[in-house]
Amino acid sequence: MRSLIILIICVVFATAHAQSSDQNLDQRTMRLAAEMRCLVCQNQTLADSNAPLANDLKKELREKLASGMTDQQVIDFMVQRYGDFVLYKPPLQANTWLLWFGPFLLLVGGLLFLILKIRQRQAEEAP
Amino acid sequence: MKRFLIPLALFLFLVLILALGLRLDPHEIPSPLINKPAPNFLLSQLHAPDVTVSPQDMKGQVWLLNVWASWCESCRQEHALLMDLSSQHLVTIIGLNYKDTRLNGINALRELGNPYQLSAFDADGRVGIDFGVYGVPETFLIDKNGVIRYKQIGVLTPEVIKEKLIPLIAKLNNA
């Protein structure tokens, strides 16, 4: 009787543990999928998309994580196959500098232009 | 009059940039696999479930890997072109039957003709993922050393075959 109770307790704990690690895996999968672009429906993340390929890829992500790969290893796996495009947030590297800093360049350029114009106008107005 | 010149020039510049942007096809994602070794796989053949096929088997020859499926409408568009290319015996054409059922795949080839020397059967699309496939049809040109030299996303056209594939095949064959 006693061993039966112990067995039951063990089984309950084991399933509870399995469930929590399952949930953990699901959460990691979804977090990664939210950082990746669906290749078919390009303005959606993998997490948001229900396209067949997106579902396949989510399954793939989950299995890679389950096999013990780190998040970064899984990201690298995806980039190797689909390129940087698969990352929803473009990486900061030589060919994306313009993308990242372009807006600030425009802002600074605009401000400089504005300051020059104002000074010019002031100089004209002052007799 | 002169004060409008700079805004006008800026405006025209913007129009030019936007016009160029409109002509790009956002659906064409540059493949990171170009000039990289083709991913390895071991799949059963569509027509012979107990015989396998692997890129290793094609070492030493230039070959095309054409990703197709019976459910893929646009694959039918390029099918006649593949039949034509296969009849010219310029290159070995291998099919990758992607996320299909054996029955549907075999029936489609019976109905339309079979341009492939053989088709690998990728039921769950795993190998497709390794090749970065996201829109069927896709076609890879692979050289004698197993390196991917060209990738066509979407349907092959007579122009692509004549102006890109055939010259590249000739070049790779001589390499």
- Note the ipTM here: 0.77
Average pLDDT rounded to a whole number, residues B54-72: 95
Q: What is residue B3's predicted lDDT score, i.e. its pLDDT?
A: 81
From the list B32, B124, B131, the residue facing A83 with the nearest CB is B32
Q: Which residue of B has its CA nearest to A84?
A: B32
* Phi/psi-derived region of residue B64, left when phi > 0, alpha when psi is between -120 and 50, beta in every other case: beta
Q: Is A42 in the B-facing interface, judged by CB distances under 8 Å? A: yes
Cβ of A83 under 8 Å from any chain B Cβ?
Answer: yes
Tokens of A41: 């429906």
Q: Are A100 and A92 in contact (CB under 8 A)?
A: yes
- Which DSSP string do the residues of A56-109 spell out, in sequence order? HHHHHHHHHHHTT--HHHHHHHHHHHH-GGGBSS---SGGGHHHHHHHHHHHHH
Given a cut of 90, is residue B51 above it in pLDDT?
A: yes
Q: Do B129 and A42 touch (CB under 8 A)?
A: no
**Structure tokens given for A119:** 């000074």
Domains of chain B (ranges, CATH numbers)? 32-174 (3.40.30.10)
The answer to whether residue A71 scores a pLDDT higher than 70 is: yes
> Above 70 in pLDDT, residue A45?
yes
Record: contact B135-A39, CB cut-off 8 A: yes
B133 Cα to chain A: minimum distance (Å): 8
CA nearest B142: which of B71, B37, B51, B12?
B37
B33 touching A, CB under 8 A? yes
* Mean pLDDT to the nearest integer, B34-57: 94
Mean pLDDT estimate for chain B: 93
Q: pTM here? A: 0.79
Angle between helices A52-66 and A71-82 (to 10 degrees): 140
Amino acid at B49: P
- pLDDT (0 to 100) of residue B161: 94
Please report the number of interchain residue pairs, chain A to chain B, with beta-carbon separation below 8 angstroms. 36
What average pLDDT does range B113-121 have in this prediction?
Answer: 96
Residues A5-41 have pLDDT tens digits of 777 776 666 666 666 778 888 899 999 999 998 888 8
- Give the model's pLDDT for residue A115: 96
Q: Which residues of B touch A85 (CB under 8 A)?
A: 29-30
pLDDT digits (tens, 9 = 90+) for B129-174: 999 998 889 999 999 999 999 999 989 999 999 999 999 999 999 9
Q: Mean pLDDT throughout A88-97?
A: 86
